[in-house]
Structure 1
Amino acid sequence: MLHIENLQAYYGKSHILHGVHFEVREGEILALLGRNGSGRSTTAKAIMGLVQCEGTIAWSAPRSGGEAVNLVGKKAYEIAHLGIGYVPENREIFPKLTVHQNLLLGEKHGRRNSRWSFEDSYRLFPRLRERQHTEAGVLSGGEQQMLALCRALMGDPDLVLIDEPTEGLAPMIVEQVAQFLLTLRERGMSVLLIEQKLTIALEIADRCLLMGHGSIVFDGTPEQLRADAAIRKEWLEV
């Protein structure tokens, strides 16, 4: 589905990613873990064409039936239209537009048999239904996160990259976000979940990657990561 090989990424002269290699499989939640500054967010931005990078990011959308496409060098809007959604850490909602208008902007017209709708968003997050005519800029942090997640899904992607969705949220909202991610997997979507919190990743992920200094230092199941205290201590725990 998504296969990354020898990915190098840069911010100007700063070399951030050093030969990153992993794959995201169809219908799985893959957690990308690591400390701040390890390169997790840069990996997502590289996939979306938002940073200078080299290497191979081979993408084959399950519903397209076509050959894999190398995303390196493509624009972000081209990548989005190929079936990849992105929820950045800072959410990037449109503050002067209403909740419903923000969701409307996420729609991809012409796509049939979409797996996500306005009603899905409002059913999973009832607070968004209550606030659908409210300007997004006055929402709470948790409500804005709900909106950012649902807006990405309105484009009916096959894969969604989600950067730190539980950062700063109350435990009750964190649980809602976790349920949201499990719902996506049930509907056949794949998720690359970038997280710093080990607990939620171990609860819902099918596989875990651990990143350190711009490289993947662990690739395994949640059970294997739980059992490897040494690698958690070296690359994850403070």
Structure 2
Amino acid sequence: MLQVRDLQAWYGKSHVLHGVNLAVQPGEIVALLGRNGSGRSTCAKAIMGMVHAAGQLRFKEQDLLGKKPFEIAHLGLGYVPESRDIFPRLTVHQNLMLGQKGSGRASRWNFDDMYAMFPRLKERCSVEAGLLSGGEQQMLTLCRTLMGDPDCILIDEPTEGLAPKIVEQVGQYLQRLQERGIAVLLIEQKLTIAMHISNRVLVMGHGRIVFEGTPDALRADAQVRKEWLEV
């Protein structure tokens, strides 16, 4: 579904990605792990057309390079940024409405699905999003992206700063996406959730993929964990 080959990316003159290769298939959760500064977030932004990039990017057999972010989104690729980027003066319900694409096809998801997944959002549906807690804003960002009915979602650090109970809810959310055939590229630092729900894990270091395998294979490779993941 999503294929990345020899991906290079830059911020100005700073060369950040150096030949990244990865793929995500329908209904697969792939975790992209690594320390801060390893290039994980840049990889997501490059896929979404938000930074200068070169190489090969294909989604559902269509080339992404050269397309604008909104064009990529309309192809069915969703993006949940680390910054969350909610609309603070709009209500929870209005934020969810903005996630709808209005493509004309019947969506796999609706408001009832979102409120069933995160009941706290239903309780606060008329509250301005800027008044939500960090965990509630993360729930809202995840659901707003899902309202656009993507076939694949790139999620950047969804559990950052969240309480353990909310982290567990996010994990359940990702597994529900998988059950409906949605592909997920999960950028995460918490090994516990990534190793628990992912089909495959990739480890990034210095702008390259330095490991690819199953969660069990990474658990068994102490050298990779020590060199590229542990503080």
Pairwise TM-score range, normalised by the shorter structure: over 0.9
CA deviation after TM superposition for structure 1 residue 69, in Å = 1.1
CA deviation after TM superposition for structure 1 residue 108, in Å = 1.3
- Deviating beyond 3 angstroms after TM superposition, the runs of 4 or more aligned structure 1 residues are none
1:165-187 deviation per Cα after TM superposition (whole angstroms, max 9, x unaligned):
00000000000000000000001
What SS does structure 2 have at the residue aligned with 1:30?
strand
What SS does structure 2 have at the residue aligned with 1:132?
coil
Matched, 1:58 2:65: no
Give the alignment's TM-score, normalised by structure 1. Answer: 0.96
1:50-77 deviation per Cα after TM superposition (whole angstroms, max 9, x unaligned):
00000100110xxxxxxx1110111000
What is the identity, as a one-letter code, of the residue corresponding to 1:76?
P
Alpha-carbon distance in structure 1 between the residues aligned to 2:96 and 2:24: 26
CA deviation after TM superposition for structure 1 residue 118, in Å = 0.6
Return the match for 1:163 from 150, 156, 166: 156
What SS does structure 2 have at the residue aligned with 1:216?
strand
Matched, 1:130 2:107: no
CA deviation after TM superposition for structure 1 residue 103, in Å = 0.2
Alpha-carbon distance in structure 2 between the residues aligned to 1:50 and 1:145: 21
Count of aligned residue pairs for this structure pair: 231
Question: Higher mean Cα deviation, 227-236 or 111-120?
Answer: 111-120
Return the match for 1:78 from 64, 71, 95: 71
1:98-133 deviation per Cα after TM superposition (whole angstroms, max 9, x unaligned):
000000000011342311111100001000000000
Matched, 1:192 2:192: no
What is the identity, as a one-letter code, of the residue corresponding to 1:141?
G
Runs of at least 5 residues in structure 2 that lack an aligned partner in the other structure = none
1:64: which partner in 2? none
**1:8-23 to 2 correspondences below 5 Å:** 8-23=8-23
Matched, 1:175 2:163: no
Alpha-carbon distance in structure 2 between the residues aligned to 1:116 and 1:164: 23
1:41: which partner in 2? 41
**1:141-152 to 2 correspondences below 5 Å:** 141-152=134-145
What is the identity, as a one-letter code, of the residue corresponding to 1:34?
G
Cα RMSD for the two superposed structures:
0.6
What SS does structure 2 have at the residue aligned with 1:44?
helix
Question: Higher mean Cα deviation, 202-211 or 112-121?
Answer: 112-121
What is the identity, as a one-letter code, of the residue corresponding to 1:42?
T
Alpha-carbon distance in structure 1 between the residues aligned to 2:162 and 2:103: 35
Alpha-carbon distance in structure 1 between the residues aligned to 2:214 and 2:106: 33
1:65: which partner in 2? none
